[in-house]
Amino acid sequence: MITTPSGTPSAPRARRRIIPAVAGAAALTLLVSACGGATQTGTNSGDELRNAGVIVHHQNGEPRSLDPARTEQGEKGEAFIDNVYERLVDVGPDGPDLIPSLATEVPTVENGLVTEDRLTYTFPLREGVVFHDGTEFTADDVVYSWERVMTMNLPEGQASVLVDSVESLRAVDEFTFEVTIQEPDASFLYSVVLNTVASVVSPDAVESNGGVEADAPNEWMDANMVGTGPYRFGEWNRGQSLTMVINEDYWGEPAKAEVRWDITPEESSRVIALQAGDADIIDISPSNVDDLDGVDGVSISAEGLLLEPIHLGFNMRADELPSGDTIPSDFFADKRIRQAFSHAFDYETYIASFLDGYGARYSAYIPQGVFGYDETAPVYEYDLERAAELMEETTYWDEGFTVSVLVQAGEPEFEGVALLMKDGIEKVNPNFRVNVVNQAETQFDDNLGEDPVPYALWVKNADPGADPHQFFDPYQHPDGDWGAKHGMRDAYEDPDLIAELIDAGKSTVDPDERAEIYAELQRILHDDPMWVYAAQEGLAYPYRSWLDGFTVNPLWRGPHYEYYSKPTG
Partner 1 sequence: MQVRDYLLRRLALLPLIMLGVSIVVFTLTRFTGSPVGIYASPNMTPDQVAALEARYLLDEPIPVQYIAWLGGLFRGDFGWSGVSVAPVTDVIWVKIAATLELALAAGAIAIFVGIAIGTIAGVRQNKWPDHSARLFSILGASTPTFWFGLLLLVPFYLWLNWFPLGRATPDIYDSVTHLTGMYTLDALLNANPVAFVDALRHIVLPATVLAFGAMATIVRMMRSSMVETMSEEYVDAARAKGLPESVVVKRHARRNALVPTSTVIGLSFGFLLQGAVAVELIFRWPGLGQWVSSAILAGDQATIMAYVLVTAFIFMTVNLAVDVAYAYLDRRVVLGG
Tell me which residues touch partner 1 (CB under 8 A): 3, 19-20, 22-24, 26-28, 30-31, 38, 40-46, 61-65, 72, 155-156, 160, 222, 237-241, 243, 260, 262-266, 268-269, 272-273, 275-276, 278, 409-410, 439-446, 448-451, 481
- Residue 51 CB, nearest approach to partner 1 (Å): 9
Q: Is-contact 377 364, C-beta < 8 A?
A: yes
**Exposure of 441 by Cβ count < 10 A (0-12 exposed, 13-18 middle, 19+ buried)?**
exposed
- Residue 268 CB, nearest approach to partner 1 (Å): 6
If the CB atoms of residues 12 and 155 are measured against partner 1, the closer one turns out to be: 155
Max intra-chain CA distance, the chain: 81
- Residue 1 CB, nearest approach to partner 1 (Å): 12
If the CB atoms of residues 95 and 410 are measured against partner 1, the closer one turns out to be: 410
Q: Is-contact 71 158, C-beta < 8 A?
A: yes
If the CB atoms of residues 30 and 109 are measured against partner 1, the closer one turns out to be: 30
- Residue 483 CB, nearest approach to partner 1 (Å): 14
- Residue 296 CB, nearest approach to partner 1 (Å): 12
- Residue 410 CB, nearest approach to partner 1 (Å): 5
Distance CA 126, CA 251 (A): 9
- Residue 4 CB, nearest approach to partner 1 (Å): 11
Q: Is-contact 486 313, C-beta < 8 A?
A: yes
- Residue 261 CB, nearest approach to partner 1 (Å): 11
Q: Is-contact 542 284, C-beta < 8 A?
A: yes
* Strands of 60-197, DSSP E: 89-91, 98-100, 120-124, 166-173, 176-181
If the CB atoms of residues 265 and 567 are measured against partner 1, the closer one turns out to be: 265
In Å, how far from its chain's centre is CA 251? 29
If the CB atoms of residues 361 and 485 are measured against partner 1, the closer one turns out to be: 485
Length of the chain: 569
- Residue 498 CB, nearest approach to partner 1 (Å): 22
Distance CA 414, CA 402 (A): 20
- Residue 222 CB, nearest approach to partner 1 (Å): 6
Q: Is-contact 427 434, C-beta < 8 A?
A: no
Q: Measuring CA to CA, how many Å separate 321 from each of 325, 374, 403?
A: 6, 36, 9
If the CB atoms of residues 114 and 272 are measured against partner 1, the closer one turns out to be: 272
If the CB atoms of residues 7 and 92 are measured against partner 1, the closer one turns out to be: 7
Neighbouring C-beta atoms of residue 516, cutoff 10 Å:
16
Give strand pairing partners of 170. 178
Distance CA 287, CA 407 (A): 18
If the CB atoms of residues 140 and 446 are measured against partner 1, the closer one turns out to be: 446
Do the strands 310-314 and 166-173 form a parallel or antiparallel pair, or are they unpaired? Answer: unpaired
If the CB atoms of residues 22 and 172 are measured against partner 1, the closer one turns out to be: 22
If the CB atoms of residues 481 and 493 are measured against partner 1, the closer one turns out to be: 481
Question: Which long-range contacts link 169-173 to residues 24+ away (Cβ below 8 Å)?
Answer: 169/142, 169/143, 170/143, 171/138, 171/139, 171/140, 171/142, 171/143, 172/122, 172/139, 173/139
Using DSSP's 3-state secondary structure scheme, residue 410 falls into: coil
